[in-house]
C-alpha cells in the first residue's frame, strides 16, 4: 500500500490551490493513503482548509516559530524527518516546491522526480521533456521513498467535502541557522495570482514598450484577469520577470488565455499547453501561436484590444 505525504503550500492564512492539485495527483496512485503536512508558526487555519479536501485522511501540523517564512533550508529537515514511514512525498512544481523538494530528496538520499503530469502506477510517472515536445515515462526504484514535484497545470484541484483528522506533530530536528529571512518585496496589483487565475491576459514584444503594455493591464482589469508576458517582453524590460509565462517562467492552466502580440515560440507554448481556451491576437497570420489557438484574430493589436475592451462594457 502506498502512503503519500503532500507538503502544503500556503501563505500562513490560505492554502494555495497547488496543494489541492497535488492531492489529486496523489489520489491517482491506486489504493493510496494521503496525508497533508502543514509547516507554519500557527497552522490551525491552513490545516482546516487542507482537512476539507476530498481524499485527505489526515493533516499533520508542525508548528514552529521558524516556519513563519517558507525557507527551504528550514523546512526541508522537518519534512525529511516527518516523511518516515511514507512511501511518497509530493510537493507542487511551483517556486515553493522547486525550492524545497530537491533538498528533501537530498536529505532522504534519493533522486527527485520532477514535473509529474500523469501517474502510471505507484512507481511509474509521466513528465514532459524537451520543452513539452515529448513526454517521458519513467520508473523509479520500489525500495526507496519517491520524492516528486507535481506539475499542477496537469491536474484539477481536489474537490472540497473531506473531513480529515488534524494532528499536531513535532519534527524534533535541529534547524539550520545559516539561512535567515531578510525581507520580502513585491508589487501589490490587486489582480488575481498568475499561477492560479482562471483568466490570463498576456502580452508580447509587439507591445513595443512598457507604456504600450498598459493596454494589457487595462483589458485584464476589465476582465478580472491576471497579467502575463512572454520572455521577449520581459527581456525587453516591459514588465517584471514574475509575469513571465513559459518554460523558464510560470506554467499555467487557465480557463482562458488571451495571447496578445505573442508569436508563440515553443518555450512560451510549454507554459500554456494545458490552458482550456487560447485566444491569439497578432498581425502576423503565420505566427506559430495560431497553430495552438482555439480563436485567432489577425490584425493590429492596438486597434483590436481597445475595441475588445469597449465591447466588454461595464
DSSP classification of residue 148: E
Residue 41 in contact with residue 65, Cβ under 8 Å?
yes
pTM higher than 0.75, yes or no? yes
Residue 61 in contact with residue 40, Cβ under 8 Å?
yes
pLDDT score of 179 more than 90:
no
Average pLDDT of the residues of the chain? 94
Spatial separation of the C-alpha atoms in residues 153 and 111, rounded to whole Å:
23
Q: How far is CA 279 from CA 243, 259, 267, 306, in A?
A: 18, 6, 18, 16
Query: Which pLDDT belongs to residue 248?
Result: 87
Residue 166 in contact with residue 133, Cβ under 8 Å?
no
pLDDT above 70 as % of the chain? 99
The burial class, CB within 10 Å (0-12 / 13-18 / 19+), for 17 is: middle
Cell of 276: 482550456
Looking at 130-210, which runs of residues are DSSP E strands? 134-139, 146-150, 165-169, 199-203
**Which of 95, 10, 114 is CA-nearest to residue 59?**
10
Start-to-end CA distance of the chain, whole Å, equals 55
Helix 214-223 vs helix 301-312: angle between axes, to the nearest 10 degrees? 20
pLDDT per position as a tens digit, 182-224: 988 766 678 888 988 999 999 999 999 999 999 999 999 999 9
Residue 84 in contact with residue 117, Cβ under 8 Å?
no
**Which of 209, 211, 201 is CA-nearest to residue 309?**
201
Q: How far is CA 153 from CA 21, 28, 82, 123, 270, in A?
A: 8, 15, 27, 21, 11
Cell 499536531, residue?
168
Write phi, then psi, for 30 (nearest 5 degrees).
-55, 130
Cell of 173: 530536528
Q: Is 53 helix (H, G, I), strand (E, B) or coil?
A: strand
φ/ψ region of 164 (left if φ > 0, alpha if ψ in -120 to 50, else beta) reads beta
pLDDT above 90 as % of the chain? 85
pLDDT per position as a tens digit, 227-265: 999 999 999 999 999 999 998 899 999 999 999 999 999
pLDDT per position as a tens digit, 132-178: 788 999 999 999 999 999 999 899 999 998 899 999 999 999 999 88
Cell of 38: 502543514
- List, in sequence order, every residue forming a beta bridge with 184; answer none if it has no partner: none
Spatial separation of the C-alpha atoms in residues 23 and 111, rounded to whole Å:
21
Q: How many residues does the chain have?
A: 314
Query: Which pLDDT belongs to residue 186?
Result: 65
Residue 88 in contact with residue 145, Cβ under 8 Å?
yes
Residue 7 in contact with residue 96, Cβ under 8 Å?
no
Cell 492564512, residue?
13
Domains and CATH numbers, the chain: 3-169 (3.40.50.620), 199-312 (3.40.50.1220)
Amino acid at each position: 500500500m502506498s502512503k503519500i505525504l503532500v507538503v502544503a503550500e500556503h501563505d500562513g492564512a490560505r492554502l494555495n490551490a497547488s496543494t489541492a492539485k497535488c492531492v489529486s495527483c496523489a489520489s491517482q496512485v491506486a489504493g493510496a493513503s494521503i496525508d497533508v503536512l502543514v509547516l507554519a508558526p500557527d497552522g490551525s487555519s491552513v490545516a482546516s482548509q487542507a482537512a476539507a479536501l476530498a481524499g485527505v485522511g489526515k493533516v499533520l501540523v508542525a508548528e514552529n516559530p521558524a516556519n513563519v517564512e517558507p525557507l527551504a533550508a528550514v523546512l526541508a529537515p522537518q519534512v525529511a524527518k516527518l516523511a518516515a514511514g511514507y512511501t511518497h512525498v509530493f510537493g507542487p512544481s511551483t517556486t515553493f516546491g522547486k525550492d524545497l523538494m530537491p533538498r528533501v530528496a537530498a536529505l532522504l538520499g534519493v533522486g527527485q522526480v520532477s514535473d509529474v503530469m500523469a501517474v502510471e502506477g505507484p512507481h511509474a510517472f509521466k513528465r514532459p521533456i524537451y520543452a513539452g515536445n515529448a513526454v517521458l515515462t519513467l520508473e523509479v526504484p520500489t525500495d526507496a521513498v519517491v520524492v516528486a514535484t507535481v506539475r499542477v497545470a496537469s491536474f484539477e484541484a481536489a474537490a472540497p467535502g473531506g473531513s480529515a483528522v488534524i494532528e499536531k506533530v513535532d519534527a524534533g530536528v535541529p534547524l539550520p541557522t545559516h539561512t535567515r529571512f531578510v525581507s520580502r518585496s513585491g508589487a501589490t496589483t490587486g489582480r488575481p495570482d498568475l499561477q492560479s487565475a482562471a483568466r490570463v491576459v498576456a502580452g508580447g514584444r509587439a507591445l513595443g514598450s512598457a507604456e504600450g503594455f498598459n493596454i494589457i493591464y487595462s483589458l485584464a482589469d476589465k476582465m478580472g484577469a491576471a497579467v502575463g508576458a512572454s520572455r521577449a517582453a520581459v527581456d525587453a524590460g516591459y514588465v517584471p520577470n514574475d509575469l513571465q509565462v513559459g518554460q523558464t517562467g510560470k506554467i499555467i492552466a487557465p480557463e482562458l488565455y488571451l495571447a496578445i502580440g505573442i508569436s508563440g515560440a515553443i518555450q512560451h507554448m510549454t507554459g500554456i499547453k494545458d490552458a482550456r481556451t487560447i485566444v491569439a491576437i497578432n498581425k502576423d497570420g503565420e505566427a506559430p501561436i495560431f497553430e495552438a489557438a482555439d480563436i485567432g484574430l489577425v490584425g493590429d493589436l492596438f486597434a483590436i484590444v481597445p475595441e475588445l475592451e469597449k465591447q466588454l462594457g461595464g
